[in-house]
Amino acid sequence: MIKIRLQRHGARHAPFYRMVVTPSETRRDGRYIEVLGTYNPQSSARERELDLKLDRIDHWLDVGAQPTDTARSLIRQSRLSPEEWLKRTEAKAAAKAARLSKKKNPAPVAEAPAEEEAKPEEATTEEVKEEPAKEEPKAVEAPAER
């Protein structure tokens, strides 16, 4: 089976990927049939971050090559217009900032819901208090003889 997947290049902590067409049995960074483009996740500009040959990708998809999940995601991303891509990255950045601020400043616990929770507990304790009074005394069994 033919796969479209990423090959990792670059130094430690500075990854750089090539999108390649390769047989599925080969190693991650092994031999390949054709280079379809590059992906540099640490690049600041979109033009330098993702550079794919979409016409060749379409050819290999028509032939029957299966992209990996990450490759499929990058292909979809490369088909976005610059405006759509900018909106998407801004939304991701805003969501990440919200998550980080939530971790740093956990929301204070509201006292009003705590009082409301306490009231149902009081009602349940009253019900529990009434139930033992309604129970009939049980007969004490004599110990078994040996």
Q: What would the pLDDT profile of 9-43 be if each residue is shown by its tens digit? A: 999 999 999 999 999 888 888 888 999 999 998 88
CA separation, residue 93 to residues 27, 37, 88, 100, 114 (Å): 34, 25, 9, 11, 34
pTM tops 0.75: no
| Sign for the pseudo-dihedral over CA of 138, 121, 106, 87 | positive
Residue 110 has pLDDT above 70, yes or no: no
Residue 109 has pLDDT above 90, yes or no: no
Report which of 15, 60, 9 is spatially closest to residue 34, judged by C-alpha positions.
60
Q: What is the pLDDT of residue 89?
A: 82
Q: What is the pLDDT of residue 69?
A: 94
Residue 125 has pLDDT above 90, yes or no: no
Average pLDDT over residues 40-62: 87
Q: Which domains does the chain have, with CATH numbers?
A: 2-80 (3.30.1320.10)
Binned at pLDDT 50, 70 and 90, residue 83 comes out as: confident
> Is the separation of the CB atoms in 39 and 6 below 8 Å?
yes
